[in-house]
Structure 1
């Protein structure tokens, strides 16, 4: 095991394990995963724009964003009356990408992300 992993808490007895489980729980919702994909693609979006992309009501998206914000997965920027959301860092989008890659493996055959030279995202 590398020294970097030890410093980051990649040990069985790491105090971050429980927090990691909370992150997985937060991402265990299709709408939230779609919100993260939308923000990863666009960088920054308003609630209404996210609602259009994920095909949910602005009220429902707002509730999901509030939870993601409490978990510090998304952050906000206010411009006048409008609030724009963005991912706080690249880790949530990487988790979602890895989960989608794992899902592709469950279908059998050679997953799309294993095809050389193709854009997988």
Structure 2
């Protein structure tokens, strides 16, 4: 073993990788975790999760989404604005209506998996007397 302390760039140097590339790679990895955590934080709200679950079945307007979630229309609009600003949903105009849809299928699969975990947890709850 060498006498010097093992630093964060020693592996990069020994493998022939530029230390700047190793640093950028670490920054990307950290940014990836930060973005994933923020997406999961948005999903941690029951109304937003219900909105995303409904949008996973196809695009919908605010009236449809209000009915699907049971939340008040102003609340639905606020949650949709957060999801839109986060880049998780997109909008398009259909006459005077604004129609929402999921930005990509990855989000639908993430919501589906979260709900599958919930189904599994519920199925294993002890029965109530």
TM-score if structure 2 supplies the norm length? 0.69
**Partners of 1:52 and 1:107 in 2: how far apart?**
25
Alignment pair present for 1:38 and 2:54: yes
* Stretches of structure 2 lacking an aligned partner (at least 5 in a row): 1-25, 125-129
Alignment pair present for 1:24 and 2:40: yes
Give 1:1-121 correspondences, 5 Å limit: 14=29, 15-41=31-57, 43-107=58-122, 109=124
Per-residue Cα deviation, 1:20-78 (whole angstroms, up to 9, x for no partner)? 0000001101111111111111x111101110111111111000000000111100001
**Runs of 4+ in structure 1 over 6 Å off:** none
- Structure with higher Rg: it is 2
**Partners of 2:35 and 2:56 in 1: how far apart?**
22
* Stretches of structure 1 lacking an aligned partner (at least 5 in a row): 1-10, 110-121
